[in-house]
Chain A
C-alpha cells in the first residue's frame, strides 16, 4: 500500500475510534455526579407554585457542559419522582432557563455569582462541583474525597428560595456554615 494511503487509513481508524468514544465516553465520575442530581430530586420539596401537584414535569437543567450522557438521559427520562416525569434540559445561557427545578451549573467559577443572582426568587435548587460555590450563594456542592463523592449543603441559601430539604438529605450531607475548607 502506498504510504499516503496508509496514512489516510490510520487517520480514518483513529477518527472511528474517537467517534465511538464521544458517543459513550463519559467518565465514571461524571456519571456518578449525574446520578446524584437525579437522587436529590427525591429529597426536596418545591413550593406548589413552581411544581404543582399534578403530573407536571420535574426539570433537571444543566448550564454548561453536561455530566449526563445519552444513556443516562434516556434512563432518567423513563423515571418519575413522586408522580412527576423527569426531563433533562440543557442551557447555554441563563436567559434560556424557563421552568427548571434543579440546576447543575458547570461554568467557570468566576461567572457563577452572576448566574446565581439572576436565578433569585425562582426556587431553583442549584448544584455545582466548583470551589467557592456555596460562598456565592449556591446550595449544594459536590466534591470528591477519598475517591468518593460527597456533598455539602448551604441550608440558608435553600431556605431563602423556599426549598424544603428532607432531614435524610441533610443527615447525609456536610452542612456548610459560612466557610469551606480547602477540599
Chain B
C-alpha cells in the first residue's frame, strides 16, 4: 500500500511537469468570477462544464413526488468520501454510521440494522439484497468524481421501481463517458479516512465511442467502543476496498445509444477472530432508442455477483443476480404519455454458516421475480393539471403476485408553483432473513428457545398519502415541502408460537407514521450557495390483535433532523464549504443522544489542481448508533484533473 501511495504521488508529480498548461479542468464548474471568465482562452471556455440545473429543476418542479437531487457539485464540495457520506446531503434521508464501513440508511423512518424499505440503484442496477432486504453499503462504491447526480425520492416509488421501494428510492447516476474525458487523479491521507487513491482516464475511439476506465482504493481506520469504565477502546474495524471499473458509451446515431459498464471490487474488513472479506463483479448493458423527444425504448440487462464472508454474523453469502428490463414510453394523442415496462430477475443465493448456532435454511435458494407495469400521464387541463396513475404487478417466489398501484396529481398554476398529492400502495416482500432464518439450525425441543424462520411471513404493506408544495419565488431560491401519512400493515415481528419457546417471524405489527420534509436551495450571491432542509418524523407501531411483540428495533428514528450545506467560492481560488447536520436524540435502550456535526472543507484550486483539507467536527463521544463511537477526523486531498 505504501508503494501504491508513492506511485500515486509520483504520477501526480509527473503530470505537473508534463502538462502544465493543458486547458482548464473539464470539471471546472464552480462559479467563476467575472475577471476569471474573461481571462480564459476560448478553448478553456469551451471546456467549462455548465450546470444543467436550468433544465432539471423545471422537470423537478413538476414532479409529483418528494424528489431531491444531490449534484456532482454538492458532493464535491461536501468532502464526502463514499456513497453513505454523500447521501448525508439529502435532508430527506437518515444516515447513521455504525463503524468504519457500515451504515444504516433509510427514508421516512425504519432506520435499523435491516433498513429494508429503501430501494437503491446504481446506474440502473438494483443493489437491494434478497438476503436481508437492505443494502451492504460497504460493498457499494462509486468513483464520486464521476457521479452525475443522486436522485433521492422519499416516499413510495413502487409503481415504477418495484417492490421494496416502500419508503424511498435512491438512484445513483454516473456520468456519460463523453463527460468524463481526460485524466483525473486524487490522493488523500487522513485519520479515520486513512488513505485513498483514485484515478480515471476517459478517451474516445472515433467520434461515436467514448470510454473511461477507473481504479480506486479507500482505506479506513478504526472507530471505537467503550469499556465498562467508559474508556475508549478500538473497535478494530479497519477496512480497505479496491475497485476497478469501466464505462463505454457508443452513440451510432443521435437516436440510439448503447452503454456498457462494469465494476469489480475486493475488500477486507477487520474483525475478530479474522478478517471479513468481500468481493464482487457486475456488468450492466443498456440500449436506448429515441424515437422522438417524448418517445423512447430502453432495454437494460445486468449480471451481478457479490460475495461476502461476514465474520461477526457468522455467515458467508454468494449471490448471483441476472436481470433484464424493458421500458417503453410513447405519447397517445396530445395529452397522454404512456410508460410501460416489464422485467425478469433471477437470483441464486447461497449462504454458508460457519457454526450450527445460526443459519439460513435452505442454504441455497433460487429465486425469481417477474414484473410488469404501466403508467399513464395525462394533462387534464392545459399544461396546468397533470395526473399520472399506474400499477406494477410483480410475482415473487415467497408471496406470489403483488399489486402496487399509485396515483399522483400535480397542479401547476404557473411556472413557479406546484402543488401535488399522491396515494400509493407499496409492499416490502420477504427476504431470506424473514423466511429462512434459524437460530440454531439443528432441531431443538419446543421448550428450548429457538427461532425457526418465518413459514407464514408475508409482505409488509404500506398505503401512503402524500401532499406537497414546491415553489420558486425567484430565480435562485427554490423550496419544497412534502408531508406524508403512512399506514403500515403486516409489519415484521418475532414471536413465540403459543405454548412453546419456538419463535417464528410473523407479521404482527401495524401502525402509521407522519412526517414533513422541507428542503431548499438558495444562492444569495454568485459565489455563495446554500442548500439543505428539515425533516420531522413520528411513528406509532402497535400489535395487531392476537400478537405480542416489541417493535422498538424496527426503527431507531430521530424526530427532527436538519441538514445545511454552505458552498462558498472565495477570492484567490479558495473555497470554503460546510456541510452541517443536526440529528435529534433517539430514545430507548438502543438510543443515542442528539448531535451536531459539521464537515468543513477548505480548498485551494489552481488550474487543474485542487488541494483540500476536510475536517469532520463534532463532539467527543460522537455516536450515531448505540454503543459505537466515531472519532473526530480529518484528511488532506490532492486532486488533479487534466
Chain A residues with CB under 8 Å of chain B are: 14, 17-18, 20-22, 24-29, 31-32, 34-36, 38-39, 43, 69, 71-72, 74-76, 79, 144, 146-150, 168-169, 172, 181-183
A182 to B477 Cα, complex, angstroms? 32
Number of A-B contacts (CB under 8 A): 104
Q: Given the interface contacts A14-B473, A72-B34, A182-B254, does A35 sit within 8 Å of B40 by beta carbon? A: yes
**Best-buried of A17, A26, A35, A144 by chain B (most CB within 10 Å):** A35
Contact of A35 among B45, B178, B522 (CB under 8 A): B45
B313 at the binding interface (Cβ < 8 Å):
no
26 contacting pairs across A/B (C-beta < 8 A) = A17-B474, A17-B477, A17-B522, A21-B475, A21-B476, A21-B524, A24-B526, A25-B476, A26-B526, A27-B51, A28-B29, A29-B50, A31-B37, A32-B37, A32-B48, A34-B37, A35-B38, A36-B45, A39-B40, A39-B41, A71-B526, A72-B34, A146-B178, A147-B52, A148-B50, A182-B254
Chain B, interface size: which category? 35 or more
> Are B475 and A22 closer than 8 Å at their CB atoms?
yes
B525 at the binding interface (Cβ < 8 Å):
yes
Q: Given the interface contacts A25-B476, A28-B51, A148-B50, does A75 sit within 8 Å of B45 by beta carbon? A: no
Residues of chain B contacted by A43 (CB below 8 angstroms): 42
> Are B34 and A147 closer than 8 Å at their CB atoms?
no
A25 to B51 Cα, complex, angstroms? 14
> Are B40 and A148 closer than 8 Å at their CB atoms?
no
> Are A147 and B49 closer than 8 Å at their CB atoms?
yes
Q: Which chain A residue shows the least CB distance to B524?
A: A20
> Are A21 and B477 closer than 8 Å at their CB atoms?
yes
> Are A20 and B42 closer than 8 Å at their CB atoms?
no
Contact of B50 among A17, A149, A181 (CB under 8 A): A149
Residues of chain B contacted by A27 (CB below 8 angstroms): 51, 53-54, 475
Q: Given the interface contacts A38-B38, A71-B526, A172-B43, does A149 sit within 8 Å of B48 by beta carbon? A: yes
Task: For the complex formed, measure the closest distance between the CB of B233 and the CB atoms of chain A, giving whole angstroms.
Answer: 49
B590 at the binding interface (Cβ < 8 Å):
no
A182 to B526 Cα, complex, angstroms? 32
A182 to B254 Cα, complex, angstroms? 8
Q: Which chain A residue shows the least CB distance to B53?
A: A27
A181 to B38 Cα, complex, angstroms? 30
Task: For the complex formed, measure the closest distance between the CB of B266 and the CB atoms of chain A, giving whole angstroms.
Answer: 33
Q: Which chain A residue shows the least CB distance to B477?
A: A17
Residues of chain A contacted by B474 (CB below 8 angstroms): 17-18, 21-22, 25
User: For residues 282 through 341 of chain B, which have their beta carbon under 8 Å from a beta carbon of chain A?
Assistant: none
Residues of chain B contacted by A35 (CB below 8 angstroms): 37-38, 40, 45
B47 at the binding interface (Cβ < 8 Å):
yes
A69 to B46 Cα, complex, angstroms? 20
> Are A150 and B40 closer than 8 Å at their CB atoms?
no
Q: Which chain B residue shows the least CB distance to A70?
A: B34
A36 to B46 Cα, complex, angstroms? 9
**Best-buried of B32, B38, B41, B524 by chain A (most CB within 10 Å):** B38
> Are A29 and B54 closer than 8 Å at their CB atoms?
yes
A17 to B48 Cα, complex, angstroms? 29
A36 to B50 Cα, complex, angstroms? 13
Q: Which chain B residue shows the least CB distance to A14?
A: B473
Task: For the complex formed, measure the closest distance between the CB of B317 and the CB atoms of chain A, giving whole angstroms.
Answer: 40
Task: For the complex formed, measure the closest distance between the CB of B373 and the CB atoms of chain A, giving whole angstroms.
Answer: 30
> Are A181 and B49 closer than 8 Å at their CB atoms?
no
> Are B38 and A149 closer than 8 Å at their CB atoms?
no
Contact of B523 among A25, A146, A169 (CB under 8 A): A25
A35 to B41 Cα, complex, angstroms? 10
> Are B45 and A149 closer than 8 Å at their CB atoms?
yes
A27 to B54 Cα, complex, angstroms? 8
> Are A75 and B34 closer than 8 Å at their CB atoms?
yes
Task: For the complex formed, measure the closest distance between the CB of B25 and the CB atoms of chain A, giving whole angstroms.
Answer: 12
Q: Which chain B residue shows the least CB distance to A74?
A: B34
Residues of chain B contacted by A32 (CB below 8 angstroms): 37, 45, 48, 50
A169 to B37 Cα, complex, angstroms? 18
A79 to B43 Cα, complex, angstroms? 19
Contact of A39 among B45, B49, B477 (CB under 8 A): B45
**Best-buried of B50, B176, B474, B526 by chain A (most CB within 10 Å):** B50
A110 to B34 Cα, complex, angstroms? 32
Q: Which chain B residue shows the least CB distance to A23?
A: B525
User: For residues 28 through 83 of chain B, which have their beta carbon under 8 Å from a beta carbon of chain A?
Assistant: 29, 31-35, 37-38, 40-43, 45-54
> Are A148 and B32 closer than 8 Å at their CB atoms?
no
B256 at the binding interface (Cβ < 8 Å):
no
A20 to B526 Cα, complex, angstroms? 10
B553 at the binding interface (Cβ < 8 Å):
no
